[in-house]
Structure 1
Amino acid sequence: MKRIYATTIALAAALAPALIAAPAHADPLSQTGQNQLVDRVIQRALSQRGVPFVYGGGDVNGPTNSARARAATTRSALTDITGRAILPSTQGNPPVPGSVTPGLPGTSLVPSEDMPDTTTVGFDASGLIQYAFAGAGIKMPRTSGEQCSVGQKVPPAQARPGDLLCYGPGGTQSVALYLGNNQMIEGTSPAVSVSPARTSNMVPYLTRVLSS
């Protein structure tokens, strides 16, 4: 355990200055076209600052309510035969169907009152990414884990605006859009916001969907 903890600290220390480093230069022959697409993605994401966070919220057309997330949880509840609690994600994505909490006595399926109301429209982390990339004509998968599995994996030292920062195993907990200058935008509680790029719990690579 001590070795794992020390490794985590060392990795975070290595990633922090790398994210601040100047972006690597694209090939000049294709840089203009790629930059235009990246700008569209970033501006589309920035246009949603302040939009509320909603589990399961957002798609290619904009913010939505939590009906999709509620439906997914209901389906999981009906098919889960273990009788153990379904875990909602904690970092900006809808509950993961089939996820359970093993070994906890007295747990039960997540009650409906714990789900977000269906009157508020907004984004979760992956919903915002899907909406942003649709501005460049790119149809992204809907979950953060799927989004972090596409494109090119690049080291943080080569971070460019438009790259994805992924959190949790395989990016399954959350995903954010890197803006450059050590800033990112994320669909997180309480609302879509810009913040310093964080390295805590980040996977050791960035995902580049638009590459030159």
Structure 2
Amino acid sequence: MIRRAGSQMGVPYSWGGGSLQGPSKGVDSGANTVGFDCSGLVRYAFAGVGVLIPRFSGDQYNAGRHVPPAEAKRGDLIFYGPGGGQHVTLYLGNGQMLEASGSAGKVTVSPVRKAGMTPFVTRIIEY
């Protein structure tokens, strides 16, 4: 799942973009760009291991078990904004996360940001 998401490094950010099969044209501001938004990238990653999760980050936040951030494991989802509705990333471990970043304009690895983070991360796959 992490390998599948990581294979998209550098793919453009496209609001509303991303399908189960890969990058796609987004909507509104992303309508002319083939790429991923945050929740589209995460959904694509999990689909690669046969796990279907909802399309929107606020729904993804409630799709698994909530875990305190201090107990986050590689593959957990980190959310931002009320109810996780503003942004979602894939935790890589060692303080790093993989994300389709609107500010970076692409799929990239970033340090985990604490500002705006929800009180819990979400574990979709238990191991």
Q: Which category of TM-score, normalised to the shorter sequence, fits these structures?
A: over 0.9
CA deviation after TM superposition for structure 1 residue 116, in Å? 3.1
2:100 matched to 1:211?
no
More strand by share: 2
Q: Which amino acid aligns with 2:108?
A: S
2:90 matched to 1:177?
yes
Corresponding residue number in structure 1 for 2:72: 159
Structural RMSD (CA): 0.9
Cα separation, 1, equivalents of 2:83 and 2:123: 14
Tell me the TM-score normalized by structure 1: 0.57
Larger radius of gyration: 1
Map 1:115-126 → 2, pairs under 5 A: 115-118=29-32, 120-126=33-39
Q: Which amino acid aligns with 1:48?
A: Q
Corresponding residue number in structure 1 for 2:22: 62
Q: Which amino acid aligns with 1:192?
A: V
CA deviations over 1:5-46 (Å, ceiling 9, x no partner):
xxxxxxxxxxxxxxxxxxxxxxxxxxxxxxxxxxxx100111
Structure 1 counterpart of 2:53, from 140, 154, 160:
140
Map 1:20-169 → 2, pairs under 5 A: 41-66=1-26, 69-70=27-28, 115-118=29-32, 120-169=33-82
CA deviation after TM superposition for structure 1 residue 135, in Å? 1.0
* Secondary structure at 2:30 match in 1: coil
Cα separation, 1, equivalents of 2:125 and 2:11: 25
CA deviation after TM superposition for structure 1 residue 194, in Å? 0.2
- Unpaired segments of 5 or more residues in structure 1? 1-40, 71-114
Task: Tell whether the 8 Å contact from 2:75 to 2:92 is kept in structure 1 after alignment.
Answer: yes
2:101 matched to 1:188?
yes
Task: Tell whether the 8 Å contact from 2:16 to 2:30 is kept in structure 1 after alignment.
Answer: no
More helix by share: 1
Cα separation, 1, equivalents of 2:30 and 2:9: 20
Q: Percent identity?
A: 52
Cα separation, 1, equivalents of 2:39 and 2:115: 18
Cα separation, 2, equivalents of 1:116 and 1:136: 27
Runs of 4+ in 1 over 2 A off after TM superposition: 115-118
